[in-house]
Structure formats: structure tokens, C-alpha cells
């Protein structure tokens, strides 16, 4: 059970919900970070009084330091300061809730200090899952997933001593706002349409990833890395109601599922209290007022990003870092209004074709593949 946490990405959707949970559980807060949201971080620091506050944007950090002159909290700026927050000695747990692969180096730094990693930042595992999981084994650091599907699987795997007992993992997928549309219809959707997710309120990048189904593709890779399983043991099923959060099918035919209302505070709370469970103020799932639970195949023709992710997963090595880097860059361009919805899979596919994949990559190879993928997207946008 966590006692003192640091949150990387405290001002975001996961970060704010983590602070709600921390308050309910009476956890102490050692360090909080954000990119440039000075006002929100200031309010969080005044409430939770961490030892360290970091803004990766230097100018924003200078502003925060002036505003917090009356407080004991140390304020640091710049991307390197994220590493300092990750290794803050008071914290036993680091919640990785930044968006994107900027989370990779701080996650590795926290692992080296044997912190529990409450992992929301899936891009890190997609790019460098092998490296991260190996480092966690070497240093004896626990990785507890926050992503709802992976938390569900983690919960369904409690008591499973031998991974060979697993036949497959089944990730549920809401289908996103464009479920049921054809490829042509999806292509006409705008940024405003993409930002309207039916079941969850999340940061803009992951919301777009949910609309393209790239999010589910990234989650397939995340699950493969977390549970060290090949692609053919990780499948995806559409489940519009987001009540069954994912399932594990065992060799004997038993299928275990975790159900709950769609509320990220549940998996966040479990990542904090694991291996215990503690009383929550949230309304429990009311089975009698649940809509009927339905399941369907994903449409890989209408949503090519899922196929692109599965192809990268099958190839392995730096292919997943290229996929992720290209997707981050393309989604950034889409959110800036510079490209259309179908340009996202097009640019990801072109970046994958342009950047050769290397097997058994070291950290530098992964960072280089990420950069090359981003450049390939910018060259073709």
C-alpha cells in the first residue's frame, strides 16, 4: 500500500483524479509536475504541500516560483527536473500520468530507485516496454497498471502463479465516438467530433487515440509488454458500455472479468492500495440498472490504426517506438487543425515505411527511432 506519492502530470485528467484519490486515502504528496499549467499546479501545491513542484516549461516554472515564494515547496523548471521529481526520496510510489513518451526516462529513473510505478503513461511501455519491464525485474520495482483495461487484467491475474495458464487476454474497447461508421464517413469527422468520447472524459491526445482506435492498438502492445505475452494471446472486443473493463481467458476455459462503472478513480485507487482493497465513497455498479452488455468485432477497415499497431507489435524492436512517435506527432497536427482525421493513419503508415525497425534496441536506439518517426511525419504532413 502506498503512503507517499509523486505525480508526474498532476494537472491532467489522470493527475487530478489521482489527487482526489490521494485525498480520500490520506496519502502524502512528495512531488507534483506539469508542463505549463501554472495556475492549476499552484492550487495543487497550496493544497497538498509537496516538497517539490516542477514545470517542464522554464518560463512557467519561473512564474510559479514567484507565486509560491511564501511556501516551503522547492520549484524547478525544465525537462530534466522531471527526473528529479521521479526520484524524490520521500515517495514510495510514482504515478506516471504525463502524456507521451517524455514519460520514459523519468519512469526508468523511478524504477532504479525501486519506487512502485502506478503506470498510466502507456506510451512509455509501447516504446520501450521490454527495457522498462526488464529494469523493473532487475531493481525489484513493482509496476501496477492504471489504464482501466490493464488494471482489470491485473486484478483477474491475482492468484495466477504461472503465466502459461493464460490462454489469452481480451481487451474491451468502447469503439469510440465513430463506432459503426464506414471508412468514408469517419474521414469526414472533425476535431470537435473526435473530442466527444461517449464514456470517458480524458486529455485531448488519448481522446483522439480513442476515436482512431490507435488507443486500443497501443493498449494491445502495453498488455503484451506488461504480461510478456505474444500478439496472438492478446485480443480486442468492442464493448460499447465500458462496464466490463477487460477479461482473462484461462487454459481450462474459465474467463475472469472485472466490472465497474466507468470511473478511472477505481483503477487509480487499486494501484495505490494494492495488494489491499479499501472502502471507496464511489457508487458501486448497480447490475439491475445496467444497460445490456454487448460484444462485437472491431472494424479494422474503418479504423486502420488498430491494424497498424498490431503490425508494429508483430514486428517488435523499434517498430512500436516508430508507430508511437509518428502517432504522437500526427495527433498533435490534427489537434492543431493542420491535418484531417484520415491523415493520422496515413502519416503513421508512411513513417513506419520510412523508418527501418531495429531488433533488440537499446534506449538510444528507441529515442532515435522516436525522433526519426516524428521527422518523417513532419516531412509528409
| Contact set with ligand NDP (CB under 6 A) | 9-15, 34-37, 56, 97-99, 102, 120-123, 147, 200, 202-203, 205-206, 264
Binding-site positions = 11-14, 121-123, 147-149, 174, 197, 203, 215-216, 219
Q: Chain centroid to CA 97: how far?
A: 7
DSSP 246: E
Name residues whose C-beta falls within 8 Å of residue 180's C-beta, 6 or more positions apart in sequence. Answer: none
Cα–Cα distance measured from residue 313 to residue 230, given in angstroms and rounded to the nearest whole number: 9
Position 209 contacts Mg ion (CB under 5 A): no
Residue 304 binding: pick among Mg ion, ligand NDP, none (C-beta 5-8 Å cut-off by kind): none
Return the closest-CA partner of residue 259 out of 109, 152, 146, 352: 152
Comparing CB distances to ligand NDP, the nearer of 96 and 318 is: 96
Evaluate whether 352 touches 326 at the Cβ level (below 8 Å). yes
CA atoms within 13 A on the CB side of 14: 30
**Dihedral sign for Cα atoms in the order 233, 205, 48, 51:** positive
Cα–Cα distance measured from residue 183 to residue 185, given in angstroms and rounded to the nearest whole number: 6
Evaluate whether 221 touches 126 at the Cβ level (below 8 Å). yes
Comparing CB distances to ligand NDP, the nearer of 218 and 350 is: 218
Cα–Cα distance measured from residue 1 to residue 296, given in angstroms and rounded to the nearest whole number: 37
Residue 12 binding: pick among ligand NDP, Mg ion, none (C-beta 5-8 Å cut-off by kind): ligand NDP
Binding-site positions for Mn(2+) = 147, 149, 219
In sequence order, the β-bridge partners of residue 235 are 170
Comparing CB distances to Mg ion, the nearer of 200 and 250 is: 200
Comparing CB distances to ligand NDP, the nearer of 100 and 350 is: 100
Comparing CB distances to ligand NDP, the nearer of 27 and 125 is: 125
Comparing CB distances to ligand NDP, the nearer of 73 and 350 is: 73
Residue 13 binding: pick among ligand NDP, Mg ion, none (C-beta 5-8 Å cut-off by kind): ligand NDP
Evaluate whether 119 touches 132 at the Cβ level (below 8 Å). no
**# residues contacting Mg ion (CB under 5 A):** 3
Residue number of the CB closest to ligand NDP reads 12
- Site map 130..149 versus Mg ion, x via CB under 5 A: -----------------xxx
CA–CA distance from 335 to each of 205, 332, 343 (Å)?
8, 5, 12
Comparing CB distances to Mg ion, the nearer of 48 and 274 is: 274
Position 123 contacts Mg ion (CB under 5 A): no
Shortest Å, Cβ 209 to ligand NDP: 7
Shortest Å, Cβ 352 to Mg ion: 23
Residue 84 binding: pick among Mg ion, ligand NDP, none (C-beta 5-8 Å cut-off by kind): none
CA–CA distance from 216 to each of 35, 94, 97, 109, 183 (Å)?
26, 24, 18, 27, 17
Residue 321 binding: pick among ligand NDP, Mg ion, none (C-beta 5-8 Å cut-off by kind): none
Shortest Å, Cβ 148 to Mg ion: 5
Position 222 contacts Mg ion (CB under 5 A): no
Interacting residue ranges for Mg ion, rule: CB under 5 A: 147-149
Amino acid at each position: 500500500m502506498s503512503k507517499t506519492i509523486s505525480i508526474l502530470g498532476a494537472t491532467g485528467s489522470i493527475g487530478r483524479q489521482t489527487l482526489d484519490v490521494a485525498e480520500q486515502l490520506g496519502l502524502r504528496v512528495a512531488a507534483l509536475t506539469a508542463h505549463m499549467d501554472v495556475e492549476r499546479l499552484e492550487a495543487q501545491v497550496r493544497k497538498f504541500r509537496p516538497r517539490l513542484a516542477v514545470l517542464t516549461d522554464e518560463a512557467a516554472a519561473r512564474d510559479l516560483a514567484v507565486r509560491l515564494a511564501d511556501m516551503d515547496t522547492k520549484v524547478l523548471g525544465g525537462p530534466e527536473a522531471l527526473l528529479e521529481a521521479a526520484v524524490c526520496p520521500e515517495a514510495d510510489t510514482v504515478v506516471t500520468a504525463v502524456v507521451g513518451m517524455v514519460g520514459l526516462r523519468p519512469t526508468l529513473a523511478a524504477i532504479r530507485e525501486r519506487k512502485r510505478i502506478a503506470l498510466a503513461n502507456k506510451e512509455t511501455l509501447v516504446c520501450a516496454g521490454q527495457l522498462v519491464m526488464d529494469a523493473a525485474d532487475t531493481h525489484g520495482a513493482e509496476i501496477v497498471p492504471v489504464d482501466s483495461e490493464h488494471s482489470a487484467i491485473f486484478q483477474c491475474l491475482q492468484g495466477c502463479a504461472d503465466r502459461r495458464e493464460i490462454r489469452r487476454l481480451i481487451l474491451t474497447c468502447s469503439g469510440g465516438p465513430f463506432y459503426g461508421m464506414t471508412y468514408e464517413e469517419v474521414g469526414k469527422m472533425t476535431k470537435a467530433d473526435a473530442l466527444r468520447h461517449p464514456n470517458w472524459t480524458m486529455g485531448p491526445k488519448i481522446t483522439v487515440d480513442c476515436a482512431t482506435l490507435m488507443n486500443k492498438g497501443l493498449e494491445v502492445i502495453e498488455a503484451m509488454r506488461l504480461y510478456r505475452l505474444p500478439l496472438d494471446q492478446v485480443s480486442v472486443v468492442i464493448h460499447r458500455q465500458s462496464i466490463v473493463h477487460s477479461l482473462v481467458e484461462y487454459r481450462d476455459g474459465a474467463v475472469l472479468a472485472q466490472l465497474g462503472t466507468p470511473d478511472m478513480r477505481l483503477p487509480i485507487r487499486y494501484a495505490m492500495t494494492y495488494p489491499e482493497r479499501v472502502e471507496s465513497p464511489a457508487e458501486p455498479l448497480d447490475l439491475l440498472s445496467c444497460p445490456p452488455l454487448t460484444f462485437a468485432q472491431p472494424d479494422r477497415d474503418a479504423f486502420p490504426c488498430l491494424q497498424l499497431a498490431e503490425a508494429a507489435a508483430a514486428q517488435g524492436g523499434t517498430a512500436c517506438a516508430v508507430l508511437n512517435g509518428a502517432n504522437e506527432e500526427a495527433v498533435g497536427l490534427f489537434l492543431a487543425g493542420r491535418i484531417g482525421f484520415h491523415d493520422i493513419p496515413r502519416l503513421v503508415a508512411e513513417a513506419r515505411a520510412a523508418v527501418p525497425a531495429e531488433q533488440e534496441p537499446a534506449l538510444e536506439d528507441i529515442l532515435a527511432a522516436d525522433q526519426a518517426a516524428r521527422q518523417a511525419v513532419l516531412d509528409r504532413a
